[in-house]
Amino acid sequence: MNSSRNLIAFALLLLILPLSADLDLPSNSTVELGSIYSPGDTVIINTNFMPENAFILSPANEKFELEFSGSNGSYSAEFPLTEKVVLGEYRVFVDGIERSFIVDHCSLNLEYAEGTLKISANTFYVQPEIEYTLDSQHGKAVKEVTLQLSPGEHELSALCLNSKIEEKINVDFRIVYNGSVFAELDGKFVNATLKVIADREYEFHGIFSPGELEIASFYVEAEYKHLRTSRDFDFRINLREVYFPGEIIEIKGNFTSGKLIDPTGNEEEIIFENGTAFVDLRKNVILGKYRIILDGFEREFFVDSYSVNATFWHSEIVGNVSYFFVEPEEVICIINDIEKSARVEKGSFRIRLELSEGNYTAILKAGNAEFLLSFEVKPLISAERLYFLGEKVRVWIGFEPERILLEKPSGSFELNLSDGFVEFLADEIGEYRIVADGAEFNFFVDSYEIQAEFRENLTGKVLWHFVEPDFIEIFDRVWKKIPLDNGSFEFSPEGDFVILKCGNAKITAAKEPNYQFVGRLIEIFSIEKPAVMLNESAVELNVSESDGIFHSTFFAEKAGMYDVLLGEKRARIIVDECRIEANVSDEIEGRVSCLFREPEYIDVFRENGTERIPVSNGSFRIEAKGVVKLSYGNAELLIQEDLRNLYFVGERLELKVSKAKLFTPSGILEFSDEIDYVFEEAGVYRLELDGIARVFYVENYSIEAFINGSLVEGRVSWNFFRPSSISFKTKLGEGNAGLSENGEFSIALDDGWEFVELKCGNAHLRLIEKSVEVERLYFVGDKVVIRANFKPEES
């Protein structure tokens, strides 16, 4: 029936077309319209002439007459696609000119999962073209497009024909801490790669405990698929080195648990409320070293008690502080509500006073100690016995003299007293004398010079003019006093940059040559702010300054010659990169090579110790038995490992070692000669032995099960690694059963099974078929005996 109708329409069209073709149209006649429309659009047909016969044939062969309007060579007709619109090709006939257009519909869909957005489009006749805008990024695609989103909020707009989608999408990828550190994506845990940057780089997968690092401040970068985020962590415990009886220690932080261990080893739980905990030292206090462990982070402090004793002598208070464990840094002196401090060295202190004549009382405080000292100040001239060129000399005179005379190498000069002092500049070296109404005071002004050479050891000499120095101070991470022998000294520094100070002389000495390896943290201590250059490019430094000392660090990421600029001086650091290659059989034959110098040895780590063996042209050959690792510079080669990746609670770890540390979830254990340890708790363990660090897990499984008819049904619980199966044994036989994703299992029992023994890892469970036996017939006077293979709770 439909085909007949189509034939009739086609015949009518054939009758119409010849008539249209006979129309006399100008050769430049135009008919303009779009090529693709959607339901709801309005088709506008533009011509440069007034048509006499114009119509549209739909895909269903329905004919729609067109009415044109306009003037002066511009005419148009509208065809709305609003009711009962048929998708497909429409044909337009305008006075013998034929055009066509497509009416189509596009379906747009969005799919989002784990930071990835997929836009897809479907049409019926034309190619589905998608135009989209993601934030400020514009794009086009056909059929579908997949976009990888970064963490954060995004705005999306997508268009296909008349279909449009506008969405706001939030990719919530973050690092979370709840006692452990892990990553969440859109509120769910994800097995991300966690890179921890601290003293060096560590890498974990999924989750880790900050206590494993033994570093309280670190930076974490999380990577999951294409997503990346980062977060800083600071678990530093802010404690003083020493506290005193009667104090209350306040601890703040986002810690979840803690304990305090006193000097006798007794433990006390530390309870946090709203991020704050307190340690009370007001009663039953034991002096000594205390340990605080918070979420695996450990700090030590001392509880001490001080006493102060002092006397007044020649314008100074001289005294000492008694202590048990920690020497105080300073003593506070209060006179007439004016406070000043003095450093304590080897328990002694001196406080120079600038007081006029009279009677005074000084309050001396150090820690929990307080001492009252009453004294009288009499007329006196006081100053240092040695000054250095360029220093300001301040001389205290405890009375009102009529005349004050300064005698120095270039002549005599009269001075004026102001507030009990005379001041002048030490502008020449030599012996000085202050004369005031017959009272005299002598001192020297000198100038020192330090000459030093820093190779394997630091050697040098201090030059002087009048007063020979007794010692030189060297800053090698801490200040150290080195005695001088006729001005000469020799010292073996730990660092490669040291600061030398003696009198008014102060220099930075750099080790030459300074040989380092790629991957190491380079530290520079100097009195000048340094600059470091590699291949004429500046190297970024982390610089801090304290008490006039610059501490600069950078990681040696590349091999090369690093120039260190220290004011007008220049030092060089050679950063080398090395490799170890070896073939292992009964012997280990290999080669160690570096970029800048030829190695003279290689370190061999064996099960029973470490030895350093010489190499020839970088080549070596050693017996392989017992060798664990080879090492030189930044290069390491592990030969064998005896540890498994997974143990169970209750298992025993036995290893022969020279020295080792075992980091358990609850503390740190140290071993010598051998490790013989039974695992008591599940968690992540870390073993350090002979320079090798290995992380492994200790698991603890548990089994819950019950008899359900002829089935044993139950579940296995775990902490880190899901087991794949559980073994069972009955009176009739034994076998294995698989576990589901959540650890559930089901085992069919045959008749006569009597008991079921279940085992998975370190977990065991035994079930029995309960039975009760009793005779059917007894006589009066008989004893009735009831036997059961279990202990009834009720009978």
pLDDT band, residue 689 (cuts 50/70/90): low
pLDDT band, residue 381 (cuts 50/70/90): confident
Q: What is the DSSP string of 725-749?
A: EEEEEESS-EEEEE--TTSEEEEE-
SS3 category, 645: coil
The pLDDT of residue 98 is 93
Give the architecture-level CATH label for domain 107-171.
Sandwich (2.60)
User: 449-576 domain in CATH 2.40.10?
Assistant: no
252: number of Cβ within 10 Å? 12
pLDDT band, residue 53 (cuts 50/70/90): very high
Q: Are 356 and 398 in contact (CB under 8 A)?
A: yes
pLDDT cut 70: percent of the chain above it: 92
Buried b (16+ CB within 10 A) or exposed e, 533-569: ebeeeebebeeeeeeeebbbebebeebbebbbebeee
The pLDDT of residue 476 is 93
Q: Are 532 and 564 in contact (CB under 8 A)?
A: yes
SS3 category, 163: strand
User: Does the pLDDT of residue 15 top 50, yes or no?
Assistant: no
Tens-place pLDDT, residues 559-571: 999 999 998 899 9
Name 510's bridge partners: 497
Task: Name the residue type at position 585.
Answer: S
The pLDDT of residue 641 is 56
Segments making up each domain of the chain, as ranges: 2-103, 107-171, 179-234, 242-303, 305-378, 380-442, 449-576, 578-638, 646-699, 702-772
User: Does the pLDDT of residue 786 top 90, yes or no?
Assistant: no
Tens-place pLDDT, residues 283-311: 889 999 999 988 777 889 999 999 999 99
Average pLDDT of span 597-620: 92
User: 2-103 domain in CATH 3.20.20.80?
Assistant: no
780: number of Cβ within 10 Å? 4
Average pLDDT of span 680-690: 82
Expressed in percent and rounded to 5, the helix, strand and coil fractions of the chain are 5, 60, 35
Name 606's bridge partners: 609, 627
Distance linking the first and last C-alpha atoms of the chain: 88
| Among 183, 153, 189, CA closest to 170 | 153
User: Does the pLDDT of residue 575 top 70, yes or no?
Assistant: yes
Lowest mean pLDDT among 48-52, 117-121, 160-164, 642-646: 642-646
The pair of three-digit structure tokens given for residue 353, joined into one six-digit string: 């006073």
Tens-place pLDDT, residues 406-436: 999 999 999 998 888 999 999 999 999 999 9
User: Does the pLDDT of residue 707 top 60, yes or no?
Assistant: yes
SS3 category, 3: helix
- Taking the domain 702-772, which CATH number applies? 2.60.40
| Among 562, 574, 633, CA closest to 603 | 633
Q: Which residue has the higher pLDDT, 679 or 20?
A: 679
Q: How many helices (H) and strands (E) does the chain have?
A: 1, 82
Cα–Cα distance for residue pair 347/591, rounded to 1 Å: 56
User: Does the pLDDT of residue 668 top 50, yes or no?
Assistant: yes
Mean pLDDT across the chain, nearest whole number?
88
pLDDT band, residue 27 (cuts 50/70/90): low
CATH class of 578-638: mainly beta
Tens-place pLDDT, residues 200-249: 888 999 998 887 777 778 899 999 999 999 988 877 778 899 999 999 99
The pLDDT of residue 9 is 36
Tens-place pLDDT, residues 63-113: 999 999 998 989 999 999 988 899 999 999 999 899 999 999 999 999 999
Task: Name the residue type at position 463.
Answer: L
User: Does the pLDDT of residue 17 top 70, yes or no?
Assistant: no
The pLDDT of residue 379 is 57
The pLDDT of residue 147 is 92
pLDDT band, residue 768 (cuts 50/70/90): confident
pLDDT band, residue 795 (cuts 50/70/90): low
Tens-place pLDDT, residues 307-352: 999 999 867 899 999 999 999 999 999 999 999 999 999 999 999 8
pLDDT band, residue 492 (cuts 50/70/90): very high
Lowest mean pLDDT among 14-23, 147-156, 531-540: 14-23
Tell whether pTM > 0.75: no
Tell me the backbone φ, ψ of residue 680, rounded to 5 degrees: -110, -15
Q: Are 583 and 619 in contact (CB under 8 A)?
A: no
CA angle 269, 270, 274 (to 5 degrees): 140
pLDDT band, residue 354 (cuts 50/70/90): confident
Same topology between domain 2-103 and domain 242-303: yes
- Taking the domain 380-442, which CATH number applies? 2.60.40
User: 305-378 domain in CATH 2.40.40.20?
Assistant: no
Tens-place pLDDT, residues 446-467: 999 999 999 989 999 999 999 9
pLDDT cut 90: percent of the chain above it: 65
Q: Which residue has the higher pLDDT, 787 or 217?
A: 217
Cα–Cα distance for residue pair 707/713, rounded to 1 Å: 6
CATH class of 242-303: mainly beta
Q: Are 124 and 105 in contact (CB under 8 A)?
A: yes
Cα–Cα distance for residue pair 357/378, rounded to 1 Å: 5
Which of 249-258, 628-637, 781-790 ranks highest by mean pLDDT? 628-637
